[in-house]
Structure 1
Amino acid sequence: MAEQKSPAAQRLTQVKDFLAMSKAATTIPWDPDCTKFPSRKELPKIEGAPDQAAWVWGADDHIGRLNLLTPARVAAAAKEIRTGEMVPVNLPLNVPAQPAFDREPFKHEIKVIFENIAYDDLYHLNTQSGTQWDGFRHFAHVPSGNFYNGAKGTDIVGPSANNKCSIHYWAEHGIAGRAVLLDYRAYAYSKGILYDSFDRHAIPYSELAACGKAQGIDIRPTAQGGDIRIGDILLIRSGWKETYDSKTPSERCAAALRHGNGEPGDDGQRWAGVAQEEEVLDWLHDCYFAAVGGDAPAFEVWPTQKEYHLHEYVLALWGMPLGEMMDLERLAEKCRERGRWFFFFTSAPANCPGGVSSHVNGTAIF
């Protein structure tokens, strides 16, 4: 069980919250409508869970930070829709032609029902082959072997397999809310920071903050005086699609088929992405994003040179959907054209009971 405050301390907190017209998350399970949540350093210790686990929405919770997408927050986010312009963020299902990390390429067949009258599709795909949501069954907290909310590998495959933390719960809840784009690629190049997004390039918090400032955004949470609201969806453009388009098919394939662990002299998978560092962990947690995503194959810089991956924190410890390989090129152009970096965002994950992940099926609306 989580450590609890004394009754007197709880009552004092309640009085303060009432006077401030706010509600703090102090009792597990947390109420998603709360307006104040603990920082990463203030997270309660939960019995049986790894340190820094935020399994706070109930023992039977399967959607994690998506709980923050309450009707009130979605309704408020809808005010971002002003012109009605829509920008999908989904790559074609056959892009990349050769997926990274040894994943199966997409295959499409046409099934003839009646010649010249009726046809069907047959898709053969790995949901991680392109624009994707990493579900909570995708990546565990490595030291403990726990997936989100205590799910285990035996919940996913084998004779005891069940639907704990399945992707279909996301589909049943829905994903819609206010999103923000940080166009790091454009910012970096404007500052002479040149890099190949098909190679290892770590994006630290300091540069993300500077990128936000250049766009007129304070990327700190509102609780710290910034512009990020509880339940916002974060998107980061690192330039992967731009680089992909600039390379030949053989160069793309060679990069995707690199093997090894990325050690010096090793030809392993290497991709630009968000840095594994304490400042990034604090920021991703304390903003209380409902979900995060980007255009890179791993979101975080790959391979990690720390003893942990951001995936462990984002997915397994905090229950935050993590998107990868979104097509953010047109979105960045539209944001720049409109001078707006916040917009309404909606996504329809696959309703697949027992599923690990899903294509995003996402659209930004201005």
Structure 2
Amino acid sequence: MAEPKNTANQRLTQIKDFLTMNKTATTIPWDPDCTKFPTRQALPNIPGAPAEAAWVWGDSDYIGRINLLTPTRVAAAAKEIKTGEIIPVNMPLDTPNQPAFGREVFTHEIKVLAENLAYDDIYHMNTQSGTQWDGFRHFAHMESGSFYNGTKGSDIIGPSANHKCSMHHWAEHGIAGRGILLDYRGYAHKKGINYDPYDYYPISWEELYQCGKDQGVDIRPGAQGGDIKIGDMLFVRSGWKEAYDSKSPDDRAKAALRHGSGKDGEDGQRYAGLSQEQKILDWLHDCYFATVAGDAPAFEAWPTHENYHLHEYILALWGMPLGEMLDLEKLAKTCREKSRWFFFFSSAPANCPGGVSSHVNGNAFL
């Protein structure tokens, strides 16, 4: 009798792993220390999960691809520190002065404990109003109404609320590893590509590939012969912070308060960012980035012109932390001066039980 196909395939994989010294993720829950993982097109079907869900780290997992930041990978990433320079990527808490998407303005009050002797701070903020991590509670897979790993709205707020996908899970693990910056804005200036970061402009995979090539980096995953390693953290500079700094306070506020869909000539929030094309989805998934981030308010081109958002895939389906509005200006300048685009990166998310999102509190180390 012929053995079942899946058993035969597993044995073939075991033989290949023995010969190549790899360790392939085949059985759920996956081992984060594996050296080979399935492509987006080869993801296993998970009962009860939406198609293309990578809920593969265990039923009680709420850190997603942060699992890839293993001690082995973090120790290897630390070797990227050559000169010891520290470059923060956090904008001031009151920047932007007028947040977009109707979010609350940051306010800061000094509380007097004893005149001339002791003081406290009181902050009032929306964690989405500036440099931020979008947590897994922030954006669901729209068709199924599921957040990462089966979390529902009723888990987040209401009488049955609990700590599924809470931000504190990230904080308890920690975020540190090897970062890679793709300075698309710098590349665009060099090549005479003109666009307004405050308008809809989708950055395609081909453009990012050429940007990487210009930087001397092959942005394909290592499994395809590229320079990206499992667990790397992606940063894309689209130029939003550069544009913000060039605007007057009135123009900044006017852009942030735009209303409407932003489509078909209608006013609304519009920003440059990654295209929602299938090649971008394949690349973001198959590189097995631990996190992705950019300097724009949405990371992806906004508004999406597809019937889906990158947010749905990145956050809800794959469990990949998504950073927005990071200040990448100094990092890009330094990386270009040194012709070095990889670095060590660390972030300390807020340890907030039940939290939805967090300021990044991040530093790059060169």
- TM-score of the two chains, using structure 2 as the length reference: 0.98
> Is structure 2 residue 180 aligned with structure 1 residue 180?
yes
Q: Structure 2: how far apart are the matches of 1:8 and 1:202? A: 43
Q: Structure 1: how far apart are the matches of 2:84 and 2:192? A: 35
Q: Give the C-alpha shift of residue 19 in structure 1.
A: 1.4
Matching residue of 1:228: 228
Q: Please identify, of 144-153 and 186-195, the stretch whose mean Cα deviation from structure 2 is larger.
A: 186-195
SS of aligned partner of 1:190: helix
> Is structure 2 residue 99 aligned with structure 1 residue 96?
no
Matching residue of 1:352: 352
The C-alpha deviation readout for 1:106-165, integer Å capped at 9, x for no partner, is 000000000000000000000000000000000000000000000000000000000001
Q: Structure 1: how far apart are the matches of 2:183 and 2:237? A: 5
Query: Partner amino acid for 1:26?
Result: T
Q: Give the C-alpha shift of residue 263 in structure 1.
A: 2.0
SS of aligned partner of 2:265: coil
Alignment of 1:4-23 (within 5 A): 6-23=6-23
Q: Please identify, of 312-321 and 11-20, the stretch whose mean Cα deviation from structure 2 is larger.
A: 11-20
Alignment of 1:96-175 (within 5 A): 96-175=96-175
Q: Structure 2: how far apart are the matches of 1:10 and 1:364? A: 40
Matching residue of 1:294: 294
Q: Give the C-alpha shift of residue 332 in structure 1.
A: 0.3
Q: Give the C-alpha shift of residue 15 in structure 1.
A: 1.8
Matching residue of 1:328: 328
Alignment of 1:211-360 (within 5 A): 211-360=211-360
Query: Partner amino acid for 2:168?
Result: H
Q: Give the C-alpha shift of residue 5 in structure 1.
A: 6.0
Q: Structure 2: how far apart are the matches of 1:348 and 1:109? A: 24
Q: Structure 1: how far apart are the matches of 2:198 and 2:105? A: 19
Q: Structure 1: how far apart are the matches of 2:25 and 2:54? A: 12
Query: Partner amino acid for 2:161?
Result: A
Q: Structure 2: how far apart are the matches of 1:347 and 1:14? A: 36
Q: Structure 1: how far apart are the matches of 2:334 and 2:152? A: 42
Q: Please identify, of 189-198 and 339-348, the stretch whose mean Cα deviation from structure 2 is larger.
A: 189-198
Query: Partner amino acid for 1:209?
Result: Y
Matching residue of 1:31: 31
Q: Give the C-alpha shift of residue 6 in structure 1.
A: 2.9
The C-alpha deviation readout for 1:230-286, integer Å capped at 9, x for no partner, is 000000000001000100000000000001111223111101100010000000000
Q: Structure 2: how far apart are the matches of 1:350 and 1:5? A: 46
Q: Structure 1: how far apart are the matches of 2:8 and 2:184? A: 47
Query: Partner amino acid for 1:229?
Result: K
- TM-score of the two chains, using structure 1 as the length reference: 0.98
Matching residue of 2:189: 189
SS of aligned partner of 1:267: coil
Query: Partner amino acid for 2:11?
Result: R
Q: Give the C-alpha shift of residue 92 in structure 1.
A: 0.1
Q: Structure 1: how far apart are the matches of 2:285 and 2:265? A: 34
Q: Give the C-alpha shift of residue 191 in structure 1.
A: 1.3
Q: Structure 1: how far apart are the matches of 2:284 and 2:186? A: 21
SS of aligned partner of 1:61: coil
User: Over the residues paired in the alignment, what is the CA RMSD in angstroms?
Assistant: 0.8
Query: Partner amino acid for 2:224?
Result: Q
The C-alpha deviation readout for 1:62-112, integer Å capped at 9, x for no partner, is 000000000000000000011100000000000000000000010000000
Q: Structure 1: how far apart are the matches of 2:182 and 2:8? A: 43
State the 4+ residue runs in structure 1 displaced beyond 3 angstroms.
Answer: none
Q: Structure 1: how far apart are the matches of 2:293 and 2:348? A: 15
Shift in alpha-carbon separation, 1:119–1:217, aligned structure 2, 3 A: same
* Structure 1: gaps (5+ residues): none
Matching residue of 1:78: 78
Alignment of 1:60-79 (within 5 A): 60-79=60-79
Matching residue of 1:199: 199
Q: Structure 2: how far apart are the matches of 1:207 and 1:5? A: 40
Q: Structure 1: how far apart are the matches of 2:219 and 2:23? A: 23
Aligned-pair identity in percent equals 72
